[in-house]
Structure 1
Amino acid sequence: MFGFLKSDPSKKLRKKYDTLSTQAMLAQRKGDIKTYSMLTAEAETLWKEIHQLELDKK
């Protein structure tokens, strides 16, 4: 009945995904390829989780 009051878990994950993507971009600009690849891998894993949550929601 009060489903609209529940927080959306994908919203929190999207914010974290955006932060990781930005950090990865900045690391790439600095030339730190190792950090860039690690952050990109984390962001990719988060994106898969977000995608799965959205599929389960439908």
Structure 2
Amino acid sequence: MFSLFKTKPEAEKLQKKYELLMQEWHSLLNVNRKKSDQKFAEAQEILNKIDSLNSN
């Protein structure tokens, strides 16, 4: 009845976090290569978690 109290699925939360990390990665790409590589690695870890959730 109240959609206000419903929580988002874990995969949806991870997808949003992945998108934010990819935006940060893209903005850091030409400024600081080391930080951009770290953001990309974090995004890949989250993508792996999303894939594992979707395969279950």
Answer yes or no: is 1:35 the counterpart of 2:5.
no
1:1-58 equivalence runs, <5 A: 7-29=8-30, 31-56=31-56
Can you give the 5+ residue segments of structure 2 that lack an aligned partner in the other structure?
Answer: 1-5
Query: Deviations along 1:9-38, whole A, 9 cap, x unmatched?
Result: 100000000000000000003x20000000
Identity of aligned residues (%): 24
Within 1, Cα distance between the matches of 2:7 and 2:51? 19
Alpha-carbon shift at residue 48 of structure 1 (Å): 0.2
The one-letter amino acid paired with 1:26 is S
What is the Cα-based RMSD across aligned positions, in Å? Answer: 1.3
For 1:28, the aligned partner's letter is L
Secondary structure in 1 aligned to 2:29? helix
Q: Which has the larger helix fraction? A: 1
TM-score normalised according to structure 2 size: 0.84
The alpha carbon displacement at 1:8 in A equals 1.3
Corresponding pairs, count: 51
